[in-house]
């Protein structure tokens, strides 16, 4: 019996897999209602399936014109260190390059575990010129 290959797909994972992948990889847990919005409201997706289940993912939120924000970059801990995050990010950037007008503005929020990957793929810090901010609740 041969090894199971990882498959890259460009559709969102099922809601339960999305919620599990976020929480298990260290991202903040979200409700089903929040997850449904992410699944239906994203500009594009890149998901790695292993044995038919999502093990890595990322998505793009954007206007399709010039602004694209990469979100939900996540890999299950038992699948980390195999280049899946790089594969997902490369595919998201390829989808932007295929569909966007010249010189799109691509952003992401870089948590510590992903910074080395993002820098290796051409992302640079914006501070102190600009600083990411969020609305505190």
Which residues is 47 bridged to in the sheet? 9, 57
Joined together, the tokens standing for residue 74 give: 């996540």
105 lies in some domain:
yes
Q: What are phi and psi of 47, to 5 degrees?
A: -130, 135
Residue 86 structural domain? 7-120
**Sheet of 67-75, strand order:** 7-9, 44-50, 53-62, 67-75, 105-108
**Assigned domain for 58 exists:** yes
Beta bridge partners of 9: 47
CATH number of 91's domain: 3.40.630.30
In this structure, is residue 134 part of a structural domain? no
Q: Is residue 113 part of a domain?
A: yes
Predicted structure pTM score: 0.93
Q: Is residue 89 part of a domain?
A: yes
Q: How high is the pLDDT of residue 56?
A: 98
Residue 26 lies in a domain: yes
Q: Distance between CA atoms of 118 and 110, rounded to whole angstroms?
A: 7
74, part of any domain: yes
pLDDT digits (tens, 9 = 90+) for 47-101: 999 999 999 999 999 999 999 999 999 999 999 999 999 999 999 999 999 999 9
Instruction: Determine, yes or no, domain membership for 1.
Output: no
pLDDT of residue 128: 83
Q: Which ranges constitute the DSSP H helices of 25-77?
A: 32-41
* Band (2; pLDDT cuts 50, 70, 90): low
CB 32 within 8 A of CB 110: no
Between CA 119 and CA 78 the distance in angstroms is 23
Count helices and strands (H / E) in the chain: 4, 5
For the segment 96-129, what is each residue's pLDDT rounded down to a tens digit?
999 999 999 999 999 888 999 999 999 999 988 8
CB 112 within 8 A of CB 125: no
Q: What is the tally of structural domains in the chain?
A: 1
Backbone CA torsion sign across 83, 88, 94, 97: negative
Residue 82: how many CB atoms within 10 A of its CB? 15
């Amino acid at each position: 019996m041969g090894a199971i290959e990882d498959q890259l797909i460009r559709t969102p994972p099922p809601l339960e897999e999305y919620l599990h992948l976020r929480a298990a990889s260290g991202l903040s847990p979200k409700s089903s209602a929040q997850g449904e919005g992410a699944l239906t409201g994203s500009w594009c997706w890149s998901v790695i399936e292993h044995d038919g289940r999502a093990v890595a993912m990322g998505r793009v939120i954007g206007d399709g014109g010039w602004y694209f924000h990469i979100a939900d970059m996540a890999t299950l801990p038992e699948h980390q260190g195999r280049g899946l995050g790089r594969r997902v990010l490369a595919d998201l950037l390829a989808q932007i390059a295929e569909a966007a007008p010249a010189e799109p503005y691509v952003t992401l929020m870089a948590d510590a575990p992903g910074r080395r990957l993002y820098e290796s793929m051409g992302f640079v810090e914006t501070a102190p010129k600009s600083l990411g901010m969020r609305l505190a609740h």
